[in-house]
Amino acid sequence: MRELKQIDGIEILTVIDNYIDVFLPESAEVKRRSLWSNGQLAQPLLAEHGLCLLITAYDGDKKHSVLVDSGNTAIGCTHNLDVMGIQLDQVEALVLSHGHFDHTGSILKFYERGNLRQGTPLYLHSAAFAERGIKALSGEKFPLPQLSRESLQEQGSKIVMEDGPSVIGNGCCLLTGEVPRRSFEIGFPIGWRNEDGNIIRDDIPDDQSLVFHVKGKGLVVVLGCGHSGVVNILNYAKSLTGCDNIYMVMGGFHLTGEIFESYTSQTIDALIEMQPKMVVPTHCTGFKSTCEIARRMSDSFVLNSVGTTFRIFPASSK
């Protein structure tokens, strides 16, 4: 069990995701970006196949901000940050959920443009730098873009590799590191990875999530693609923290396509049993699975959109 500080609140801003809808409703904990700015239409944000989240944890009178992933391209995240007028100078760390291209697209650009300070640490699993790809049904192997350690270091990134769980942000944020695979979830059977010259099946061991504990609420768990399986991730978060109360789970559940949709129903069954107050499937969850989550978990489901901010605070707080 890891020592994780209980925080006074958390804000999660969606910098980039696959979807944008400027007419989605708000609630007390879900704030949408206004369609209007200074009496005219606001400059539009971009969506792309990728994910980037800016997370701020409130700890008394102090704030600790981490940036999670960086989308697919070098354009989307930087454009959206500029349009929203968001600076990253207070970001204490960049966390990479795993080494796939749709999460690493703007990392170098963040450092090049000075969005992130020189020396801002980048937390990742050692397998994030692996040569990897996808195996087609025909058997043909397609390589995926590879993250370059040398290029990151040249741009001033301080690389911190940790394969197991660790705590950052002055104890406010728990990184799961590699997640044990114990449920019905099948990993990533179409993936391959070069390990010491051998081509092996790649179940994305570098897949990691972030865990926060909000006072009076419970755990807020943030996934990248959820290659470890959202059920495995949530169970691991509970075992690491000793807290069984999942208040919110947000991120990619990787239930898109025929292979993964085969156990969408089982996944939802398990989520219903855990009784999270808020379920926010993003990015690679897939249209069919997202619709099924919305149908079966209508009281807790929230449709995400680029520019949305989630604000989770104790009832007596902000």
pLDDT tens string, the chain, 318 residues long: the values are: 568 999 999 999 999 999 999 999 999 999 999 998 888 999 999 999 999 999 999 999 999 999 999 999 999 999 999 999 999 999 999 999 999 999 999 999 999 998 999 999 999 999 999 999 999 878 888 999 999 999 999 999 999 999 999 999 999 999 999 999 999 999 999 999 999 999 999 999 999 999 999 999 999 999 999 999 999 999 999 999 999 999 999 999 999 999 999 999 999 999 999 999 999 999 999 999 999 999 999 999 999 999 999 999 997 655
Number of domains into which the chain is organized? 1
- Is residue 317 domain-resident? no
Kindly report the CATH number assigned to the domain that includes residue 113. 3.60.15.10
Structure tokens belonging to residue 196: 């010491």
Q: Which domain holds residue 280?
A: 6-312
User: Amino acid identity, residue 149?
Assistant: R
Q: Whole-prediction pTM value? A: 0.97
- Is residue 237 domain-resident? yes
- Is residue 318 domain-resident? no
- Is residue 251 domain-resident? yes
Name the phi and psi angles at 295, rounded to 5: -70, -45
Give the rounded distance of the alpha carbon of 314 from its chain centre: 23
- Is residue 302 domain-resident? yes
- Is residue 65 domain-resident? yes
Structure tokens belonging to residue 34: 């206004």
- Is residue 244 domain-resident? yes
